[in-house]
Amino acid sequence: MREFDDKLRGRLCKALYIITSLIYLYTAGFGAFSEMTQRALLITICGFTIFLSKPFKIKQEQNPLTRALDWLMAFGFTAAGIYIMMIWNDRVSKVGAIPMQDVVMATVMIILLLIATYKATGWPLVITCIVFLIYTAAGPYLPSILSHRGESWSRTANFMYVSTGSIFGVPAGIAATYIISFVIFGAFLERFGAGQWFVDLAYAGTGRYRGGPAKTSVVSSALMGMISGSPAANVVTTGAFTIPLMKRTGYKDFEAAAVEAVASTGGMFTPPIMGAAAFMMAEFLGIPYMAVAKAAIVPALLYYLSLLLVVDSIAVKSHLVGMPKDQLPDAKEILLKRGQLGLPIIFVIAVILMGWSPMKSAFYGIIAVILVACLKKETRPNAATFIDALESGVKGVANIVISCAAAGIIVGVISMTGLATKLSYTLVSISGGNLLIAAVLTAIITIILGCGMPPTPTYVILATVLVKPLTEMGATALSAHMFIFMFSCIGALTPPVAITAYTAAAISKSDPNVTGFRAFRMGLVAYIIPFIFLSSPAILMQGNTLEVTLAVVTATLGIFCLTAAVEGYMFQYWSKLTRVLMGVAAILMLIPGSVTDIAGIVLIAAAWVLNKFVFKPDVGVN
């Protein structure tokens, strides 16, 4: 009976993944359904598959009761999803008393959505949702800073369920249009060979240099991150190849895992595709997606430049050399045999620049993947590959969709109670109207929330609340959104949780905590860059050519100085005192302004002179 149940679940989920991919490919190419149907259908299917693919267990075992419970919840969630699609058009045009059946189905949807969210992402997001739901009723009993009139459960449940401002709100809408289209596009690229092509090309280009395997990890993870949008998935995909290779060539196990964790995390904010939250940012700001991607170019380049410098420093201190040429793949052969696999990405970038919608771009990008893969025998797919790509597309997006729906509950509560305005006033008050203090508080809140929650819901929740006060204190809207977005991404890299680092540690068999703190140190620049563009949008390519050029040049110098300070090597070994001076110089160079730039250059010169003629460098320091 158990074997039959397992097979039935697997086959049913696989069939639903494939059918759903086909449905949403159709809507991407030929037009979406009605607003509620487009969103509710995807949430319903993803919830159903999560209940069956992530079964409940008691003491690591399943029994007939928990198996039956999985099916009961799956069908209950489906019933609630179908019900809202059937009655929504009628309800939005009517006023008056809320039908009791609506409240019942809304309650079923909310409870089962929270259970599905627990299965998909764990407790943090679920607990946050529950706290916010309690807040709707507890308003009259709270301090004035948080108080509100209070809402009945029937009104709260109805708003969460029937309106398009909560569960089926903007986050779910973007997930059901842009995100699923690009996740399926990424799945086709990966399954049709582009993922391995990225790794091979990066290996061929960087393998011969000192610390080559680590540089391969950085480059390939950046390339894979552009299409996967999931740090943990990126670690598993590229890390399975790069982490053992780094260990074989001399990197310590925790260093290899940390490099992969940091490299994979950056994929979330690496253009052109970036993570799911970038689509939401474009929607919130009312600007083209490509404008968001353009703004992320320099921060992403600075991030990966810093990581490349770090792994080079480690290679020098550990006396690591490059791989022999005869052990490396031939770049010319890779380009000749599989170079066409890179064309769909170029095509997607080009058509987005031409003004195509993201959905249309992704749809025709998938067609381009299929066509170019068929051009040569080496990459020609079969029916199984095509089906596998369709399956992995929706399978990879299910957790994101459920997270977006759960985040919608929090957004709905904020909208109902006016909490955003209250928290905005509070942040302004605590910071005294100082943008830097407000930014530090925002970063801390975002990291704490991002440690336990996926980047997308973290960004959605906090952008709803914290963007307004940041802009009121002088930040541009794009800078404020990007600030919260980047800190939402690096929450997964921050100890003590550091889920991305822990995933990499499992592959390298290293200590998770040691790996997490080493990854934090390697990715330190990611905690600094957002503060730069919050006060100087030139880093986001906002401004004239001279402003942008100066901002990029000084920030790049700051990255070099920061690497010297943190790692103890940059072109030469540095003594303890000169590392301190280089650290101060890094901060000055990263802070926008001609005065700080000049002071930074003076400090760099002083540090070099002292290191050269006065102090003995700390050779081999870590």
pLDDT in tens, 20-54: 999 999 999 998 898 999 999 999 999 999 999 98
Q: What is the mean pLDDT of residues 219-224?
A: 76
Range of 618's domain? 543-622
- pLDDT top residue among 275 and 284: 284
Question: Which of 456, 530, 529, 518 is closest to 493 using CA atoms?
Answer: 518
| Distance between CA atoms of residues 608 and 603, nearest Å | 9
Q: For residue 570, is it within any domain?
A: yes
Q: Does residue 621 register a pLDDT over 70? A: no
Q: For residue 614, is it within any domain?
A: yes
Q: For residue 599, is it within any domain?
A: yes
Question: Which of 382, 378, 373, 385 is closest to 333 using CA atoms?
Answer: 378
Q: Does residue 129 register a pLDDT over 90? A: yes
Distances (CA, A) of 331 to 7, 65, 189, 302, 596: 43, 56, 20, 26, 43
Q: For residue 563, is it within any domain?
A: yes
How would residue 60 be classed by pLDDT, with cut points 50, 70 and 90? low
Please, what is the average pLDDT of the chain?
A: 87
Q: For residue 588, is it within any domain?
A: yes
How would residue 59 be classed by pLDDT, with cut points 50, 70 and 90? low
Q: For residue 53, is it within any domain?
A: no
Q: Does residue 278 register a pLDDT over 80? A: no
> What's residue 228's pLDDT?
61
How would residue 335 be classed by pLDDT, with cut points 50, 70 and 90? confident
| Distance between CA atoms of residues 616 and 72, nearest Å | 71
Please give the structure tokens belonging to residue 169. 């709100």
CB 361 within 8 A of CB 217: no
> What's residue 58's pLDDT?
61
Q: Does residue 319 register a pLDDT over 90? A: no
Q: Please tell me whether residue 382 adopts helix, strand or coil conformation.
A: coil
| Distance between CA atoms of residues 462 and 258, nearest Å | 28
- Which pairs with CB-CB distance under 8 Å and at least 24 residues apart come from 494-500? 494/447, 494/450, 494/451, 494/520, 495/520, 496/451, 497/451, 497/452, 498/261, 498/451, 499/232, 500/231, 500/232, 500/235, 500/261, 500/264, 500/265
> What's residue 448's pLDDT?
83
CA angle 365, 303, 356 (to 5 degrees): 25
Chain mean position to CA 341? 24
How would residue 276 be classed by pLDDT, with cut points 50, 70 and 90? low
Q: For residue 119, is it within any domain?
A: no
Q: What is the mean pLDDT of residues 453-459?
A: 82
Please give the structure tokens belonging to residue 282. 């474009």
DSSP category for residue 328: S
Q: What does the pLDDT look like over 338-379, one tens digit per residue?
A: 888 889 888 988 888 787 888 898 899 999 999 998 888 877
Proportion of the chain above pLDDT 70, given as a percent: 95
Q: How many domains does the chain have?
A: 1
The count of residues in the chain is 622
Q: For residue 567, is it within any domain?
A: yes
| Distance between CA atoms of residues 25 and 20, nearest Å | 8
- Taking the model in full, what pTM does it have? 0.83
List of E strands, 18-93: none
CB 39 within 8 A of CB 173: yes
Q: What does the pLDDT look like over 147-197, one tens digit per residue?
A: 889 999 999 999 999 988 899 998 899 889 888 888 898 889 888 888 778
- Which pairs with CB-CB distance under 8 Å and at least 24 residues apart come from 66-71? 67/2, 67/5
Q: What does the pLDDT look like over 498-524, one tens digit per residue?
A: 778 888 888 888 888 888 889 999 999
Distances (CA, A) of 83 to 41, 78, 398: 11, 8, 21
> What's residue 301's pLDDT?
92
> What's residue 158's pLDDT?
93
